[in-house]
A and B are shown apart, each in its own frame.
Chain A
Amino acid sequence: MAKRSAPEVNAGSMADIAFLLLIFFLVTTTIEKDSGINRKLPPMEEIDPPIIKQKNIFTVLLNGKDQLLVEDELMEVADLRDAAVEFLDNNGDETCDYCQGNKDPRSSDNPDKAIISLKNERETSYAAYISVQNELVAAYNVLRNRRALEIGPSRGFRDMNFTQMQGNYKDARFVGNKEKLKALIDQIKLEFPQKLSEVQ
């Protein structure tokens, strides 16, 4: 009997099967895009609140109708960032040599003492709350970026603002001295500490 060659399997429908699988995975794919504003909650233990001078507190109140009251004056969210920068950068007691503020004795003493106090009501919408949080974080970032551009070049990190420094520190592909960068980031964080208190 003559040897018969094995019959060839028809692979024509392979593409169909693969397409089916492909479409399934296409539909179920969600590219991860989680990002947000990091916050640290205060611990539960009650400690005696330190006595803070009224002029060192920047009160931000967001009421149930999403209206913004800053230092007892109505304000739009768009103006909040500049107002917060002005308050933090004020340098009332002239101990902060990197500040550029107006040195108004009625406003904050220095960035280390300045505290932003945020109060919201139960009816406040979450979107408004996040917008205000965002603007306050932005105010700190404005000052930190400015400081980073000032002292960065002398530490060997030219043309890099604070946000980029943080990004580079986390980036594995960054070529440069990460320890020096970390020290610089920590220094700027200390010079403009984020003191944001939330009233319960």
Chain B
Amino acid sequence: MSKFKKKKDGGLPAISTASLPDIVFMLLFFFMVATVMRENSLKIQNSLPVANQVEKLDKKNPVSYIYMGKPSSGYEKFGTEARIQLNDQFASLTDVSAFISAERSALREELIPFLTVALKVDREANMGIVGDVKQELRKVNALKINYTTGIGDVETNFN
């Protein structure tokens, strides 16, 4: 006559962790999809200035990046003045036109006029180097540029 067993008043029942992998996989897939691997490893300091009248850089059109800034720690042998970085290496001013031609040759022909050059320049760099690069870009007729900035109040640029 033990049809109605007395309930054991043991401890709490263990929580099943069988669905934990599912949750984790869900998170994993989200980050896998949202991840963009860094294209270039920077060898220069690159803290962008801020502005508040910015437009989003349109990713529909092709974008090439030119970085400028002081060589970061570990690369002091390249000097303390701001340098240009193209792809993964330091470059000189004369390399800019070759870089633009290389970027253009990788594009479909109809997209070439829409190539935007994004200038990612460290806030401490001088305008001298930026002006030189702009002049080089004019020579190769890459006229669409974008000064990439963070978003914020311009007052913070001055300290």
**Residues of A bordering B, CB below 8 Å:** 11, 14-15, 18-19, 21-22, 25-26, 28-44, 66, 77-78, 120-131, 133-135, 137-138, 141, 166, 170, 200
Contact in complex: A129, B130 (CB < 8 Å) = yes
Sample of 4 further A-B pairs with CB below 8 A, known A122-B131, A125-B124:
A34-B118, A35-B148, A126-B121, A129-B130
Contact in complex: B157, A128 (CB < 8 Å) = yes
B134 within 8 A of A: yes
Point out the residues of chain A lying under 8 angstroms from B50, CB to CB.
130
Contact in complex: B144, A131 (CB < 8 Å) = no
Listed residue (B36, B57, B147) with the most chain A CB atoms within 10 angstroms of its CB: B147
14 contacts between A and B (CB under 8 A): A25-B35, A31-B34, A40-B144, A40-B145, A41-B144, A77-B154, A122-B128, A125-B124, A125-B127, A128-B157, A130-B147, A133-B51, A134-B53, A134-B154
Whole-angstrom distance between the Cβ of B149 and the nearest chain A Cβ: 5
Contact of B146 among A11, A15, A37 (CB under 8 A): A37
B4 within 8 A of A: no
Contact of A18 among B21, B37, B56, B148 (CB under 8 A): B21
Known: A30-B38, A35-B148, A39-B146. A130 touches B49 (CB 8 A): yes
Contact of A39 among B123, B126, B145 (CB under 8 A): B145
Contact of B124 among A21, A29, A126 (CB under 8 A): A126
**Residues of B bordering A, CB below 8 Å:** 17-18, 20-21, 24-25, 27-28, 31-32, 34-38, 49-57, 59, 63, 116, 118, 121-128, 130-131, 134-135, 137-139, 141-151, 154-155, 157-158
Contact in complex: A127, B55 (CB < 8 Å) = no
Known: A26-B31, A41-B143, A130-B149. A36 touches B154 (CB 8 A): no
Interface of B is mostly: mixed
Whole-angstrom distance between the Cβ of A64 and the nearest chain B Cβ: 8
Contact in complex: B53, A122 (CB < 8 Å) = no
Known: A14-B21, A127-B158, A200-B131. A133 touches B143 (CB 8 A): no
Nearest-CB residue, chain A, relative to B125: A126
Nearest-CB residue, chain A, relative to B139: A44
Listed residue (B50, B55, B130, B154) with the most chain A CB atoms within 10 angstroms of its CB: B154
Known: A22-B24, A35-B56, A41-B145. A135 touches B130 (CB 8 A): no
Whole-angstrom distance between the Cβ of B31 and the nearest chain A Cβ: 4
Contact in complex: A126, B49 (CB < 8 Å) = yes
Contact in complex: B154, A35 (CB < 8 Å) = no
Q: How many angstroms between the C-alpha atoms of A26 and B34 in the bound complex?
A: 10
Nearest-CB residue, chain B, relative to A13: B21
Known: A35-B149, A126-B130, A128-B157. A22 touches B31 (CB 8 A): yes
Nearest-CB residue, chain B, relative to A142: B53
Whole-angstrom distance between the Cβ of B84 and the nearest chain A Cβ: 13
Q: How many angstroms between the C-alpha atoms of A29 and B31 in the bound complex?
A: 7
Whole-angstrom distance between the Cβ of B140 and the nearest chain A Cβ: 9
Whole-angstrom distance between the Cβ of B81 and the nearest chain A Cβ: 12
Point out the residues of chain B lying under 8 angstroms from A170, CB to CB.
56
Closest 3 CB pairs of A and B: A122-B128, A127-B123, A25-B31
Point out the residues of chain B lying under 8 angstroms from A19, CB to CB.
24
Contact in complex: A38, B154 (CB < 8 Å) = no
Q: How many angstroms between the C-alpha atoms of A141 and B57 in the bound complex?
A: 18
Contact of B57 among A30, A35, A131, A138 (CB under 8 A): A35
